[in-house]
Amino acid sequence: MRGVWLVALIPYGAWAGDNLPSAEASAWLQRMADASRHLSYEGVFVFQHGDAPVQSLRVLNKPVGGGKDSRLTAMDGIQREVRCSQGISMSLSTEGGQIKVEKRLNSRHFPDLLPISAAPLANWYAVKLGDMSRVAGLDCRQVELIPKDAYRWGYVLCAEKDTALPLKASMVNETGKALIQYSFAEIKLGASSTPPPAPAVDVASQASPVASERVGVRNLPPGFVRITAVRRKLPNKPGEVEHWVFSDGLTHISLFLENTTQPVETLRGQSKLGMINMLTRQVGSLQATVLGDAPWPAVEAIALGLEARQVAGVSR
């Protein structure tokens, strides 16, 4: 809270063009993160990935206790929505009169892009304040998150001038080219609507904790920690695999582990704009696939740092 007051007392213009001192950077990051969860709002935003067609989505957020209830509804194409409540996230899609419900492992979505504990991100990103702008009829301050190393993409946000709610966000590469962009087209702060609850599904049947760790990871990129490790079934793939996720709070990199009896060909994959990178390789008796919307050095570091571990009772 003290950091927020510090931010409020210093004129914006004093920082324009310069990286913020670490304490102020942390305060801005935490303020934007809190706003996306702790405010009531309802609006429509547009989303674009590269040069793909723009999509429109409606978002509704309401704070509940220390968390949030939210609902995200696609306004284009087939009926789809995401509901998040009590830290549980479900996706619902409607086709042919049937509603398909699936549990998601992550309950964050725009404008809730920053982690709950966002202040430590200042260790890995420099924060720079930019000009005032106007998005969806509201004034906002441009806030630039500049990665301090090659292991993460940058962000350019526009934080609403009073609440710091991100009204606009772009993920950018090292040359400043926008990889994905979000922007509210209309928003109502203080909305009174309440998101419907997430439907009950058999969570246990969709993912279970990893019982033993057959792989070790040396040299994770700075700031990255493992946030998830589950066994789950993947779409269009028989059997279960282990799905681990590493994150610095903004960047997420998945590791998929599965048994193999055949030699695994080492393959590198990269999306057209270079935003998503992948490496598949063999680690002991396992096929490991590392995949993330992260720069290649981050995916490479994790993939090359994998090593097989001896697990009691498991033959190799």
Q: With respect to other proteins, which residue has the nearer C-beta, 55 or 142?
A: 55
Residue 78 is given by DSSP the state: S
Nearest to 163 by CA among 67, 24, 41: 41
Instruction: Say how many C-beta atoms besides its own lie within 10 A of residue 16's C-beta.
Output: 14
Phi, psi of 54, rounded to the nearest 5 degrees: -70, 140
Determine the 3-state secondary structure of 284 from DSSP: coil
Nearer to other proteins, 133 or 280 (CB): 280
For residue 148, give both structure tokens.
């301090």
Q: Which two tokens stand for residue 184?
A: 């509210």
In one-letter notation, the amino acid at residue 214 is R
Least distance between other proteins and beta carbon 61 (Å): 15
> Which residues, 6+ apart, have CB-to-CB distance to 8 below 8 Å?
none
- Residue 268 CB, shortest distance to other proteins, in Å, is 5
Pick 37 or 108: Cβ nearer other proteins? 108
* Cβ distance to other proteins smaller for residue 65 or 239: 239
User: Shortest distance, CB of residue 98 to other proteins, whole angstroms?
Assistant: 12
Nearer to other proteins, 138 or 278 (CB): 278
Are the C-beta atoms of 199 and 94 separated by less than 8 Å?
no
In the bound complex, what is the minimum distance in angstroms from residue 4's beta carbon to other proteins?
A: 26
Would you tell me which residues interact with other proteins (CB under 8 A)? 47, 49-50, 52, 55, 72, 74, 77-78, 80, 82, 89, 91, 93, 95, 100, 102, 104-106, 109, 113, 171, 179-180, 232, 234-237, 243, 245, 247, 252, 254, 256, 260, 262, 264-272, 275-276, 278-283, 287, 289, 291-293, 300, 304, 307-308
DSSP secondary structure of 117-159: S-GGGGGTEEEEEEEEEEETTEEEEEEEEEESSSSS-EEEEEE
Instruction: Give me the residue label for tokens 């590791």.
Output: 255
Q: How far apart are CB 250 and other proteins at their closest, in Å? A: 9
Give whichever of 199 and 269 is closer to other proteins, judged by the CB atom. Answer: 269
Indicate the residue among 189 and 273 with the shorter CB distance to other proteins. Answer: 273
Sheet holding 98-104, edge to edge: 98-104, 88-95, 79-85, 67-74, 55-64, 41-49, 178-189, 166-172, 154-160, 138-147, 125-135
| Minimum distance of other proteins from residue 249's CB (angstroms) | 12
Contact 255, 273 (CB under 8 A): no
Cβ at position 290, least distance to other proteins in Å:
9
Could you tell me the smallest distance in angstroms from the CB atom of residue 163 to other proteins?
22
Estimate the crossing angle of helix 22-38 against helix 2-9, to 10 degrees.
Answer: 110
Q: How far is CA 171 from CA 13, 282, 294, in A?
A: 24, 31, 11
Closest to other proteins by CB, 92 vs 189, is: 92
Q: State which residue, 136 or 294, has the beta carbon closest to other proteins.
A: 294
CB 63, min distance to other proteins, A: 21
